[in-house]
Structure 1
Amino acid sequence: MKARALSMLIGSVLAGGVQAQSAPQAQAPLPTGAAAPVYQAEPCCNLCPAALVKENYKGDVLSTLWPLVAGKNGWVFRARTDFATEFGPSPESMAMLKQFSQALKKRGTQLMVVYLPSRGLMHEDQSLQPFDKALALANYQAALQRFRDIGVAAAPLDQLVDQVQGDFYLKRDLHWSPTGAEATARVVAKTVSHYPFYDSLPSEEYQTEASGYTAVNGNWQRAIGDLCQQNYPLQYTNEYQTTPDSDLLEAEVAPELVLIGTSFSASANQRTNFEGFLRQYLGKDILNMALSGGEESGAWLEYLPSGVFQEKPPKMILWELPAHYLMKDKSLFRQLIPLVNNGCEGKKSLLSSSQKIRPGAGHNELVFSTELLKRDAGDLVMELQLSDPTVHDLNVTAWYGNGADERFTVRQNQRANTGGRFVFSLAQDELLRNENFISLDLNQVGSTQPEVDVAVNVCELDGKPPLSQTARR
């Protein structure tokens, strides 16, 4: 019984991190005058040494967590990511984001990033690691301003640092808590309300109520179990449900506010109710297109080519983006920019062809035409339709008139349902953008099938005036 009581105390400390005293229940009455034993439990240790060894973090997901470190009161952090003091995409990625934002504006859509503050900024008080919070906050604010400088709206979430009552994030999980989701929704809604279109949108009152509670077995908690055979207690959070006051919502009218994002926002993740809190504080309906596990690109790859966007672009897209996403993948905007106008769909084809390829055979010439030699590479869009819908990665080489070649991978998020369709532009490099295009080779296809049919279509970016004649192989 004493051992059981001590175990329960240690579990309590791991969950809450406070010193505790308790007298265990005796199975029989204590002798007269005998004092009950008193136990004091304190946190026993940091994470096991294995948690510091990079080679132990195997797999695509686990490798991103190295190294996990213990904080106070049962908190766990990613030492590199959560205590970063630099934020935002590189200048090169910001330049591509600017092009993407401008393409959306041509369709009548304003882009707003909901760029979440880091766990270090929000919970520095729970850290045992050295962390320059002042520097991190200044650089986070500077990143928000860089978004604004290129015409991308940025919700001022720096206002939340040191202002949220309760835990913004979960203790041992990547995601925010309902408290963090609600606080963010308030700021976002207030920011959206300042735009001229806001008052013209249909209004509706929403109410949010607690609907229960849920146990969170966080992804970092599970990782620690694998690395250290060390268990933390489950964390419990409230669940919420948001409903309209009336049943008269115009269901046939697509909302003019769209939410794009990750598992923080996805409808499947009702644990945090960000979607519901947004509706409540906006007083407007939203369309939630966030994709759990979609990372930066997944939700976009599904939404942009959809009829919902192409037929009636919304007034604003809210892009929920955790601060650890830096838009480093060079194929991100290479795909998103042409997808704003749905690739080559409905446009004059400059070249079309089809062929069978063997994924393991290596080099396959997909595109070559003397007519395309007259075109600047930066003006062209490549659209490939593969017969294998499970393919999400292509490695290609583009050849240019100055003799240069560019080998790159077009990556699609594995969760995105793209049906084997790849749309991408060429020559993001300023030095190559105005060079004439020569050819495109397919080097590698992520397919397990022995043969894959590939249909190729080439058109101009943004639907520029087509050539007088269509070139075909």
Structure 2
Amino acid sequence: MIVKIANAFRLLTPALFIGYAVYANASLFLSDETKLQSTSERSLLEGGLTREFEEIYKTSLPHREPAVGLLGAARYLTLGVGKKGVVVGDDEWFFTEEEFGPDIDSEPLIERSVAEIAAVKNELGSRNIKLVLVPLPQKSDIYSEHLETVSDTSNAISQYHQFVSRLQSQGIEVVDTRDTMMSAKSEGNVFFKTDTHWTPLGAQKVAAAIEQDMSLPDDLDSKSFKLFSAEEETFWGDLVNFVTGQDYGKLAGIDQEHTNIWRAEEEVSDNATLDLFGSEDSFPVVLVGTSYSADTRWSFAEFLKKDLKADVLNLAEKAKGPGAPMYAFLHGDILKDTPPRVVIWEFPTRYLAQKGIWDEKPQPKDDTSAGAETVDLNLLLKEQSDEHS
């Protein structure tokens, strides 16, 4: 029965597209609001008219958004697939296509990453700062059972182990998180089903593994933090957009994600004074990484505070990859003015197959140049404090 429906959908789709195309184009170009400006012979030769047509289709095509959303919902319901950018597994498990890149020799890319990380380790080591590298396994690796009929995930597994082995051979301290996340699956999802990111459970288990595998310098004061659930949030996973519009997710039978956002609050005695902005030793740990750390919905920095019993300054950034935030830290004023004792670098291994993750490496800042950009540490700390209030 499912095969018959799928075949009918394949046959019906072209007819629907042709009918809609005729109607939409007629509606579009008979409208008084649609006017073409590039009508000269020169503009035709230079492609100006073509560009205007493209812009009109992008911004003015009637019913474009609902048409795309409905088509995506119908495609998912009948064929169980999405658009380019997502790989659909079984039981509503979505995976980013970034984890299934072209079949290339990943060894040179891994070597480049190891070399860059080793250089960072040496730079921090020259300042007596400890680097701890936290590689995160791919979602397709941890939940490969949902991809058995769709894609081979053996490359993700071997890539992770090769990366960890090469890091360790260079004397880089690594927290091996794969076994931790595999074990935690028995307690709940460690990745969201329809999102690229880990769940707070995954983040919490990795934070605990970091605490077990590393130690803070002995001369740092230990602080006690208490975790509390600050709020709950329901959201559409970021991979839903590669299947259908979020307004049509329910129509496609896709569920929203749900998470508890956790906060770590320092426990102080009645006669103690809490310094909001801290002192030079108030942030012995700096967290650098991607949206796995930067997005407060996953609560990673909060779990680290509790487990490490230390203040953590979160300098991770969204949509920058693992390289750019580290370079920003190395060339910023925080490292110069208030250096930490430990830097934790969260590093999703799915970035290893992306050639451009080190392209934003900046030149050392020239302190004598006019208008050099600086970072106000107190302002940054206040912003992070406001986020948690």
Q: TM-score with structure 1 length normalisation?
A: 0.54
Q: Against the structure 1 CA distance between its residues 227 and 265, is the aligned structure 2 distance closer, same or farther, given a 3 Å change threshold? A: closer
Mapping of residues 426-441 of structure 1, within 5 Å: none
Of the three residues 288, 300, 306, the one matched with 1:260 is: 288
Q: Does 1:221 align with 2:240?
A: yes
Q: Does 1:47 align with 2:65?
A: no
Matched residues in 2 for 1:112 and 1:332: separation? 22
Structure 2 letter corresponding to 1:233: D
Which residue in the other structure is 1:243 paired with?
265
Please list the CA deviations of residues 103-134 of structure 1 after superposition, one character each: whole Å capped at 9, or x if unmatched.
22112222222111110122123335455556
Q: Against the structure 1 CA distance between its residues 279 and 219, is the aligned structure 2 distance closer, same or farther, given a 3 Å change threshold? A: same
Structure 2 letter corresponding to 1:211: A
Which residue in the other structure is 1:328 paired with?
355
Which residue in the other structure is 1:319 paired with?
345
Secondary structure in 2 aligned to 1:210?
strand
What is the CA-CA distance between 1:84 and the residue it aligns to? 9.2
What is the CA-CA distance between 1:182 and the residue it aligns to? 0.5
Structure 1 letter corresponding to 2:197: H
Q: Which contiguous aligned blocks of 4+ residues in structure 1 show a shift greater than 6 angstroms?
A: 83-88, 384-387
Mapping of residues 11-410 of structure 1, within 5 Å: 44-48=77-81, 51=82, 54=84, 66=85, 68-79=86-97, 81=99, 89-130=109-150, 136-164=156-184, 165-193=187-215, 197-226=216-245, 231=252, 232-246=254-268, 248-249=273-274, 251-253=278-280, 254-266=282-294, 269-326=295-352, 328-329=355-356, 332=359, 334-335=361-362, 339=364, 343-345=365-367
Q: Against the structure 1 CA distance between its residues 82 and 116, is the aligned structure 2 distance closer, same or farther, given a 3 Å change threshold? A: farther
Matched residues in 2 for 1:276 and 1:159: separation? 22
Number of aligned residue pairs: give it: 287
Q: Against the structure 1 CA distance between its residues 300 and 140, is the aligned structure 2 distance closer, same or farther, given a 3 Å change threshold? A: closer
Greater helix share, structure number: 2
Q: TM-score with structure 2 length normalisation?
A: 0.64
Q: Against the structure 1 CA distance between its residues 315 and 332, is the aligned structure 2 distance closer, same or farther, given a 3 Å change threshold? A: farther
Aligned residues: CA RMSD: 3.4
Choose between structure 1 and 2 for higher RCO, CA contacts under 8 A separated by at least 6 residues. 2
Secondary structure in 2 aligned to 1:219?
coil
Matched residues in 2 for 1:241 and 1:281: separation? 13
Contact 2:96 2:239 in 1 (8 A): no
Q: Against the structure 1 CA distance between its residues 302 and 92, is the aligned structure 2 distance closer, same or farther, given a 3 Å change threshold? A: closer
Contact 2:204 2:300 in 1 (8 A): yes
What is the CA-CA distance between 1:277 and the residue it aligns to? 0.4
Matched residues in 2 for 1:69 and 1:142: separation? 24
Query: Mind listing any 5+ residue stretches in structure 1 that lack a counterpart?
Result: 1-42, 55-65, 347-383, 390-415, 418-473
Contact 1:205 1:245 in 2 (8 A): yes
Largest Rg, 1 or 2: 1
Q: Against the structure 1 CA distance between its residues 131 and 200, is the aligned structure 2 distance closer, same or farther, given a 3 Å change threshold? A: farther
Structure 1 letter corresponding to 2:256: L
Query: Mind listing any 5+ residue stretches in structure 2 that lack a counterpart?
Result: 1-75, 376-389
Q: Against the structure 1 CA distance between its residues 344 and 133, is the aligned structure 2 distance closer, same or farther, given a 3 Å change threshold? A: same
Q: Percent same amino acid among aligned pairs?
A: 21
Secondary structure in 1 aligned to 2:264?
strand
Contact 1:260 1:318 in 2 (8 A): yes
Greater strand share, structure number: 1
Contact 1:111 1:316 in 2 (8 A): yes
Q: Against the structure 1 CA distance between its residues 80 and 129, is the aligned structure 2 distance closer, same or farther, given a 3 Å change threshold? A: farther
Contact 1:256 1:314 in 2 (8 A): yes
Secondary structure in 2 aligned to 1:325?
helix
Matched residues in 2 for 1:132 and 1:225: separation? 25
Contact 2:93 2:146 in 1 (8 A): yes
Q: Against the structure 1 CA distance between its residues 146 and 293, is the aligned structure 2 distance closer, same or farther, given a 3 Å change threshold? A: same
